[in-house]
Amino acid sequence: MASNAPHFDFTEVEFADNPEPRCPVVLLLDNSGSMRGEPMRELNLGLRAFRDDLLADPLAAKRCELAVISFGPVRTVSDFVSAADFESLTLLPEGDTPMGSAIERGLDMLRVRKDMYRRNGIAYYRPWVFLVTDGAPTDKWQDAARAVHDGEQARAFAFFAVGVEKADMKVLKQISVREPVKLRGLQFRQMFQWLSSSLRGVSRSTPGTIVPLSPPTGWTDV
Amino acid sequence: MTTWRAVGASVAGASHRVRGVPCQDAFSLHVDDEGLVIVVCDGAGSAVHADVASRLVCDAFSVEGRRQARCPSGPDVEALLAASRRAIEDAARERNAPIREFACTLLGAIVTATWSLFVQIGDGAIVAANTEDFAPIFWPSHGEYANETHFLTDAEPHHVQCLVTSDRPTRLAMFTDGLERVALRIADRAAHQPFFGALFTSLAAEHTSEAAFSHALHAWLASDRLSTRTDDDLTLVLAATNVPTRREAADGS
C-alpha cells in the first residue's frame, strides 16, 4: 500500500458478530455500451428490488452475501457484504464485454471468500455465480469456460447464465454447464425475484436438504 | 450406584411449523440401575420418512444399548449400529421406500458403572463434563457446505465417530445441529461454557423437578429468542448425576 496508515480490515470482525452460515453469491453483470437506455435502467431497478427482497427475510439478510462485478470493463463494484449491508448501486453503460476476465475475477473472489470462512469457522452453503449479459465476450473466454466446468465438476459453486436480447446464447452454452436461459424482454425484476426466492430457500436449508430450485419460468424465453 | 437426573425436549423448527412439517428430530432417554442410555437423531430434511426414521433409530439404539449396559465387559458398537440400521431397513422394506428416505444422524451415549460409550454419525454434538470444563466429545461432522452432513443410512466406516472409555461424565448434554451455533464456539471448536453452566446449575438445583424442567426447556426451545437464530428443529437432552461436584462438597452444605 502506498500510504503508511495502518490498514484495518473489519470483514472478519463481522464474522464474530454474525456467525450465521453464509450463502455467497457473485453477480456478474454486463454494463457494456449496448446495455444503454432501457436495459441498464431495468437491470438497476431489478437489482434494487433484489436487495429489498432479501432484506425482508431476516435469515436471508444475515446469511446471503453478495458481490457484484460489472464488466465493460471488469470492475469489482461491491466485494462480499451481507445483504443487510448491501448498498444500492447503479451501473452505468460503458465499453465492451470482457466476460471471460469477469468470470475469472468472480471465481477468484469466491476462493478468497471461502478461505476467509474457513479461517473464521463460518459454515457456508454452495456459492452461486449468476452471469447476466446482452452480448458476446470481447475477450478470451475459453479459460473462464474451463474454470466454470471444473468448478461445477468439483461442486465448488453453481453457475447460472442469463442472456438478454441479442446475447450470444451459443457461447453462453459453452461457458455454463447448466443450460443458459434467455430473459424474456427486459424482465430483470422477475429474474431477480426468482433469484431471491431461490436464495431464501437455500439459505434456510438444513443438513440433508436438497433444495429444489423452482424452474425459472415467467421471465425466460424458450 | 449412580443415579441420574435427566431431561430432554424436541421442538419443530420455525420453518417446519409454518409448512406443517412434523419435527424430524427425536430422542430417547433411559435411566436404570445399570446406567444411562441417551439417543438423539435428526432426520434429514430431504428424506420423506425422516421423522419416522429418527424415532425408530432412537428406539432401536436404546433397546440394544440397555441390553449392552448390563455387560460389564464393554459395549459392541457394531451391534448397536446394526440394530439401528435394521430398524430403518425393515421400515423401508415395509413401506417399499428407498432407504435414503430414512436418512438421519445419530448421537448415542451409554454410561455404566465401568465404561462409557459415545458414538456419533453426522452433525449435532455430545458435550460432557466431569469436574472440568464442558467439552464436545466429537466435533459435528459436516461436508464442505452447511447443508451437508453424514447419515446412518449412507455413512462410510470413517464417518462413524466412536469413543469407549472408563471415564464417567457427571454431566452430559446432547443436541441436534439447530443448537450448534448457540451451544458451541464454532471458531475455536469448543463448548460455550456459560450456556451449559447455566443449564446444569438449574438442573442440579434441589427444588428442580424433572417434569417442570422439561416443560421449561421445551418452552425455551420454542421461544422467539431462539427462532431468530435458527429455524431448524431443535433437540436438547441433559443428564447430571446426583454425585455432588467438588465445589458443592467444599461448600460443606
Round to whole Å and give the CA distance between B221 and B197: 17
| pLDDT of B182 above 50 | yes
Tell me what pLDDT residue B244 has.
Answer: 47
Asked if A207 lies within 8 A of B146 by C-beta distance, the reply is yes
Report if residue B39 sits inside a domain: yes
Report if residue B250 sits inside a domain: no
- What domain count does chain B have? 1
CATH number at residue B90: 3.60.40.10
What ipTM goes with this model?
0.72
Asked if A16 lies within 8 A of B15 by C-beta distance, the reply is no
**pTM for this prediction:** 0.77
Round to whole Å and give the CA distance between A66 and A105: 14
What count of other Cβ atoms lies within 10 Å of the Cβ of residue B209?
A: 10
Full DSSP string of A30-46: E--GGGTTHHHHHHHHH
pLDDT tens for B68-109 read: 999 888 999 999 999 999 999 999 999 999 998 999 999 999
Report if residue B120 sits inside a domain: yes
Q: Partners of B160 in the beta sheet?
A: B121
Give the chain A residue nearest B154 (alpha carbons): A208
| pLDDT of B249 above 50 | no
At A144, phi and psi to the nearest 5? -65, -40
Phi/psi region, residue B64 (left: phi>0; alpha: psi -120 to 50; beta: rest), is alpha
**B104 closest CA partner among B145, B64, B155, B162:** B155
Query: Which comes out higher in pLDDT, residue B24 or B227?
Result: B24
Alpha helices in A6-37 (DSSP H): 11-17
Contacts of B142 in chain A (CB under 8 A): 123, 207
At B83, phi and psi to the nearest 5? -65, -40
Round to whole Å and give the CA distance between B194 and A81: 31
**B228 closest CA partner among B194, B187, B191, B178:** B178
Tell me what pLDDT residue A2 has.
Answer: 45
Tell me what pLDDT residue A207 has.
Answer: 62
Asked if B146 lies within 8 A of A155 by C-beta distance, the reply is no
**B190 closest CA partner among B230, B145, B236, B133:** B133
A/B interface, count of CB pairs below 8 Å: 68
What count of other Cβ atoms lies within 10 Å of the Cβ of residue A146?
A: 11
Report if residue B246 sits inside a domain: no
Q: Mind telling me how many Å the CA of A15 is from chain B's nearest CA?
A: 10
3-state secondary structure labels for all residues of B134-150: CEECCCCCECCCCCCEC
Give the chain B residue nearest A126 (alpha carbons): B145
**A11 closest CA partner among A91, A101, A120:** A120
| pLDDT of B227 above 80 | no
Round to whole Å and give the CA distance between B250 and B253: 8
Q: Mind telling me how many Å the CA of B210 is from chain A's nearest CA?
A: 30
Burial of B21: CB neighbours in 10 Å, binned 0-12, 13-18, 19+ = middle
**Among A15, A58, A208, whose Cβ lies nearest the Cβ of B103?**
A208
Q: In what order do the strands lie in the sheet with B35-42?
A: B25-32, B35-42, B106-112, B116-121, B160-165
**Among A20, A59, A125, whose Cβ lies nearest the Cβ of B145?**
A125
| pLDDT of B64 above 90 | yes
Q: Mind telling me how many Å the CA of A207 is from chain B's nearest CA?
A: 4
Which residue type occupies A63?
R
CATH numeric code, A21-204: 3.40.50.410
* Percentage of chain B exceeding pLDDT 90: 58
Asked if B187 lies within 8 A of A155 by C-beta distance, the reply is no
Contacts of A16 in chain B (CB under 8 A): 187
Report if residue B252 sits inside a domain: no
The domain in which residue B78 lies consists of 4-241
Asked if B149 lies within 8 A of A207 by C-beta distance, the reply is yes
At B70, phi and psi to the nearest 5? -85, -5
**Among A58, A155, A209, whose Cβ lies nearest the Cβ of B147?**
A209
What count of other Cβ atoms lies within 10 Å of the Cβ of residue B96?
A: 6
Asked if B144 lies within 8 A of A59 by C-beta distance, the reply is no
Asked if A207 lies within 8 A of B186 by C-beta distance, the reply is no
Residue pair A17/A85 in contact (Cβ under 8 Å)? The answer is no
Report if residue B247 sits inside a domain: no
pLDDT tens for A33-77 read: 999 999 999 999 999 989 988 888 887 888 899 999 999 999 999
Radius of gyration of chain B (CA): 17
Low pLDDT (below 50) residues in chain A: 1-6
